């Protein structure tokens, strides 16, 4: 069984994803919500590739190989889609601490000011525990933190997604401050966050760190 990726014949096995097949031969496909230790959520669409014969671009992190499939990971259609995703993200959130995304943007010649007149997603910075802060002005809603807190790593379920559409956000249940949730401060959410939205305060918790009631107001 094999596929053709960017002109290369790649041996594959049943059930392998396009992302895995490409990585076998050193072809790097950009990704955002994908993390090797988490269940692929396939929500960011940055890893889309062109599959000859398919009407739409497909997400490489979940699309399974088929024998003889011909895949393009760097076609102009693919690059345009990724570029637009990055430009839209930059219009709503602060990507200044997301080095991988900024590198992809530079590589694709993305204009991060293209939608500069668009509405920003703005939040207070939640500093409600001694260990880490939550700055959702930098959150791209990849949901890695929710997965790490849930079934993929810690099984504590302190985090969830609340709201709809533009008003979606990562949240705690009933918007509770983190110390009032099931959070055990394991740090897994901070470790998987790709944008600096979750930041550890340092190796030792400060006894002076304020524990604030950070309940956000409803949009």
- CB of residue 14 to ligand SF4, shortest distance in Å: 31
Binding to ligand SF4, residues 182-211 (CB under 6 A): 192-193, 195, 197-198
Distance CA 204, CA 209 (A): 11
**Least distance to ligand SF4, CB of residue 10, Å:** 30
Among 57, 61, 71, 145, binds ligand SF4 (CB under 6 A): 145
Phi-psi region of 141 (alpha: psi -120 to 50; beta: other; left: phi over 0): left
- Residues 97-126 interacting with ligand SF4 (rule: CB under 6 A): none
Smaller CB separation from ligand SF4, 71 or 170 = 170
- Cα separation, 14 vs 196, whole angstroms: 36
Q: Toward ligand SF4, which CB reaches closer, 33 or 48? A: 33
Find the shortest distance in angstroms from Cβ 145 to ligand SF4.
3
Should residue 170 be labelled a site residue for ligand SF4 when binding is judged by CB under 6 A?
Answer: yes
Q: First vs last Cα of the chain: how many Å apart?
A: 51
Dihedral sign of CA atoms 62, 63, 68, 73 in order = negative
8 Å CB contact between 78 and 97: no
41 binds ligand SF4 (CB under 6 A): no
63, 42 Cβ separation under 8 angstroms = no
Which one among 57, 71, 141, 178 touches ligand SF4, defined by CB under 6 A? Answer: 141
Please tell me whether residue 133 binds ligand SF4 under the rule CB under 6 A: no
The answer to whether the beta carbons of residues 2 and 10 sit under 8 Å apart is: yes
Tell me if 1 sits within 8 A of 13, measured CB to CB.
yes
Site residues (CB under 6 A) for ligand SF4? 139-145, 170, 192-193, 195, 197-198
């Amino acid at each position: 069984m094999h596929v053709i990726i960017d002109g290369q014949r790649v041996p594959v096995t049943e059930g392998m994803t396009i992302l895995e097949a490409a990585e076998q031969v050193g072809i790097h496909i950009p990704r955002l919500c994908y993390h090797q230790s988490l269940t692929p959520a396939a929500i960011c669409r940055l890893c889309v590739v062109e599959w000859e014969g398919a009407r739409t671009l497909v997400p490489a992190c979940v699309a399974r190989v088929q024998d003889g499939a011909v895949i393009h990971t760097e076609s102009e259609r693919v690059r345009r889609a990724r570029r637009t995703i990055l430009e839209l993200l930059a219009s709503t959130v602060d990507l200044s601490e997301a080095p991988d995304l900024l590198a992809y943007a530079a590589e694709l010649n993305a204009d991060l000011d293209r939608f500069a007149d668009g509405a920003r997603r703005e939040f207070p910075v939640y500093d409600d525990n001694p260990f880490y802060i939550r700055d959702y002005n930098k959150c791209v809603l990849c949901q890695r933190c929710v997965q790490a807190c849930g079934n993929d790593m810690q099984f504590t379920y302190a985090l969830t997604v609340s709201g709809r559409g533009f008003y979606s956000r990562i949240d705690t249940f009933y918007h509770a401050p983190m110390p009032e949730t099931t959070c055990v401060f394991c740090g897994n959410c901070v470790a998987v966050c790709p944008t600096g939205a979750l930041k550890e305060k340092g190796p030792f918790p400060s006894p002076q760190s304020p524990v604030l009631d950070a309940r956000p107001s409803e949009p």
